[in-house]
Amino acid sequence: MSDDDVQLEARLEEQEVFEPPESFVEQANVNDEAIYEEFDENWPDAWERAAELLDWEEEWDQVLDDSDAPFYEWFVDGELNASANCLDRHLADRGDEAAIEWIGELGEKRTYTYDDLHREVNEFAAALRDLGVEEDDVVTMYMPMIPELPIAMLACARIGAPHSVVFAGFSADALATRMESADSEFLVTCDGYYRRGDPLEHKGKADEGLDDVGHDVETIVVDRLDDDYDHPMKAGEHDYDELVAEYAGAEVDPVTRDAEDMLFLMYTSGTTGQPKGVKHTTGGYLSYAAWTSQSVLDIKPDDTYWCSADIGWITGHSYIVYGPLALGTTTVMYEGTPDYPDKDRLWQIVEDYDVTQLYTAPTAIRAFMKWGKEYPEQHDLSSLRLLGTVGEPINPRAWKWYYKHIGREECPVVDTWWQTETGGMMLTTLPGVGDMKPGSAGPPLPGISADIVDVGGDPVEAGRAGYLVVNKPWPGMLRTLYKNDERFIDEYWDEYSNPDRDEWVYFPEDGAKIDDDGYITVLGRVDDVLNVSGHRLGTMEIESAIVGVEGVAEAAVVGGNHEIKGEAVYAYVITEDGYDETEELRDRIIEGVEDAIGPIARPEQVIFTPELPKTRSGKIMRRLLEDIANGDELGNTSTLRNPDVVEDIEAKVRGD
């Protein structure tokens, strides 16, 4: 490393606040800080600016009806169609421009122009309608990252049928549970897909799930594997390609939907074990997805924008499909993994397609760090204008690596906090307005009111940990849990609300702290807060301290039973390439935690491991790490993408 590189690394290490580049600010969709004041003074009517990004068949009579809180209604009596907003209105100006750029695992490439996408969505919508799909019928989709998934979503939206996408990595049982809960009589799936070059059979899993559904289901099967997997069609099953060909050239008039009509269901895990069917509506959700895409991700029609999430999650719904397409831009879809066929796969795609924005997860960024800067350095990433992170808090060291090695210190980084239930981003900087603080998501977006409170619901002082709450409704919010209004109130609104005073506070079950500038650092789920000798410690704070130690690539912290402390800190650590798992490094990790947080957070044990147990979506399964720390019987590992690592970690903890 040259002297200049050493000086640069030292400067980045010390820097705590980063200004957005002037060149970015000049061209940003939003670059006037007065927007915060405007929303404060003109709330809720200021949200009309989000709705005005869409085309409405009937304009709303009232921006917000809060007379039956917490069952809020947005853009009351407004009427529109989501499919028409994502397709039809762009045809005149952008019909021959790319809507979706799809890259397959094996290197296949497909470009769908807005004309192409409009045509196939219409054809599939006609097929669905003739198969018996009616307005308000829930259509389930159990598919990987192939173009037919967003096509099916937009076809459903076109005919007024809500969709329910089930992540392709979920089990057959998960599919059955969700279809039963939604009373869904229609399924769109595929024969299989590719991972790391190998075909994976998927239809058998779908068939297994359907065996546990207590009603008849019409199934449509996309042929992704061609000759790699032969699957005869059974009664009630239809070939996607044959259906589309049968309805070639068909056009379906978009069904007019009320703003509060359901656009889709998305099931998310629940504390009771039963998944929760989160209901999102047409007007408020689509307005919010479009507005945050424009304001935070700075999306413009002539961009080539890439969110590397899976459409099976809410991030893919809002920021691969609905937000970008509502704005008429080009959205990139990639089927495969970031390290196949080599660890520069993502950077090759950025270079090949001149990607302008990259929105990815801290998990992926930590993997990029571990693999080394030489991989992005092999490619021209100068097309990038903005970087984003989503899914979990990002520690300062990973943020700075991303900023330097991917963004060349020329791209603002938006660290976004939100969740399935919020529909879109809630906490983050506006990249054309606010300074960035690595490790802190940032202030609430304009129009969003959030506080950090103690167990009594009172705001805590700056620097102290507490509970994140949202005090006002917002357009993208969930409306209820499907067919379960009571659970909706119990899970999200009861904890810190006072209905006697007509005060309803949304509780997302995350811990956080706020600084003197109003920037919020999310510390993780409330169940990711440890109680060590009566002190509440956020796992994210401890993990950030560990990853801040030279030689550490990634860390996961959990609590383990302790007869004196009640709960002790167990740290599972992955080292960077070129660093050995030594006692000296272990001591530096412990010292780093004590320096950053205090002796109370000192890890009971530091366990080095080459991998952490992760789900197929890339999330660390901390429950298994807790089981290992406590010597408990391990729970289900079938959803892991690397189940073998659990046994290795268990042996290390036991000292085998």
pLDDT tens figures, 102-140: 999 999 999 999 999 999 999 999 999 999 999 999 999
Q: Are 643 and 650 in contact (CB under 8 A)?
A: no
Last residue within a domain, chosen from 421, 453, 485:
453
pLDDT of 1 higher than 60: no
pLDDT single digits (tens) 352-403: 999 999 999 988 998 899 899 999 999 999 999 999 999 888 889 899 999 9
pLDDT of 271 higher than 50: no
Pairing assessment for the beta strands 566-575 and 605-608 based on DSSP bridges = parallel
Domain shared by 438 and 500, yes or no: no
Mean pLDDT of the chain: 91
Domain shared by 538 and 498, yes or no: no
Of 55-69, 263-277, 314-328, 584-598, minimum mean pLDDT range: 263-277
| 557 is a domain residue | yes
What one-character-per-residue DSSP string does 538-581 give? Answer: EHHHHHHHHHTSTTEEEEEEEEEEETTTEEEEEEEEEEPTT---
Domain shared by 202 and 310, yes or no: yes
Domain shared by 287 and 151, yes or no: yes
| Residue 350 in tokens | 């950025």
Domain shared by 506 and 538, yes or no: no
Q: Are 284 and 258 in contact (CB under 8 A)?
A: no
Closest CA to 536 of 513, 507, 520, 503: 513
Q: Domain containing 567: what range?
A: 533-654
| Residue 82 in tokens | 């989501």
Last residue within a domain, chosen from 521, 542, 561:
521
Last residue within a domain, chosen from 521, 544, 568:
521
Domain shared by 470 and 586, yes or no: no
Answer with the residue of higher pLDDT: 407 or 597.
407
- What's the number of domains the chain is made of? 3
| 528 is a domain residue | no
pLDDT at 608: 94
Long-range contacts of 48-54 (CB under 8 A, 24+ apart): 49/291, 50/287, 50/288, 50/290, 50/291, 50/475, 51/75, 51/78, 51/283, 51/287, 51/475, 53/287, 53/290, 53/291, 53/294, 53/326, 53/327, 54/80, 54/85, 54/283, 54/286, 54/287, 54/290, 54/326
pLDDT at 273: 55
| 197 is a domain residue | yes
pLDDT of 534 higher than 60: yes
Domain shared by 515 and 565, yes or no: no
Domain shared by 484 and 572, yes or no: no
Domain shared by 392 and 469, yes or no: no
| 269 is a domain residue | yes
Average pLDDT over residues 532-555: 83
pLDDT of 618 higher than 70: no
pLDDT at 8: 56
Closest CA to 445 of 478, 482, 472, 407: 472
Percent of the chain exceeding pLDDT 70 equals 96
Domain shared by 377 and 478, yes or no: no
Average pLDDT over residues 622-648: 80
What one-character-per-residue DSSP string does 399-440 give? Answer: HHHIIIIITTT-S-EEE-B--GGGSS--B---TTTS-B-TT-
Query: In angstroms, rounded to a whole number, what is the distance separating the alpha carbons of residues 495 and 498?
Result: 9
pLDDT at 6: 60
Q: Is it true that the peptide bond before 70 is cis, omega within 30 degrees of 0?
A: yes
| 458 is a domain residue | no
What one-character-per-residue DSSP string does 465-482 give? Answer: EEEEEE-S--TTS---BT
Percent of the chain exceeding pLDDT 90 equals 71
Domain shared by 344 and 428, yes or no: yes
Average pLDDT over residues 74-78: 98
Domain shared by 498 and 618, yes or no: no
Average pLDDT over residues 168-186: 92
Name 71's Cβ contacts closer than 8 Å, sequence gap at least 6: 479, 480, 485
pLDDT of 51 higher than 60: yes
Q: What are phi and psi of 128, to 5 degrees?
A: -60, -45
